Amino acid sequence: MDSGPLRFEAPRTAASMTQPALDDLLVFLREVEARVPRGAEIALVPARRVEVLTPLMFHYLALGQLPAHRVLYAEVPHFPARLPEYVAVYGAGLDDSRFALVTRLRGGSLYRRAP
């Protein structure tokens, strides 16, 4: 078995060596964290499924990666009771006039509640 040439570089994320399927998600969460103000309420929607994650595990991972934010549980971008301030959709966009696009990210999109 040939594993290729030896490389001396830092892994892309903390999960690169053990759970490489999570790399894109962790990069996405890092980008969300950098763009949403501390203390803001955000719903993270797992539109792109990662085979090693259930929606609840996705939520727990988001809680851990965004400790300065109020992370809401959301399996789908449907908010009948109260709209969150921000919505980040992993693996897709959001077609909902109640939200305005903030930016497209590697791996998804970030939206803010429309005024």
The more confidently predicted of residues 1 and 49 is 49
Give percent above pLDDT 90 in the chain. 50
Q: What is the pLDDT of residues 12-45, one digit of tens each?
A: 655 555 565 677 888 899 999 999 999 999 999 9
Q: Which residues pair with 108 in a beta bridge?
A: 90, 105
Interatomic CA distance for residues 3 and 14, integer angstroms: 20
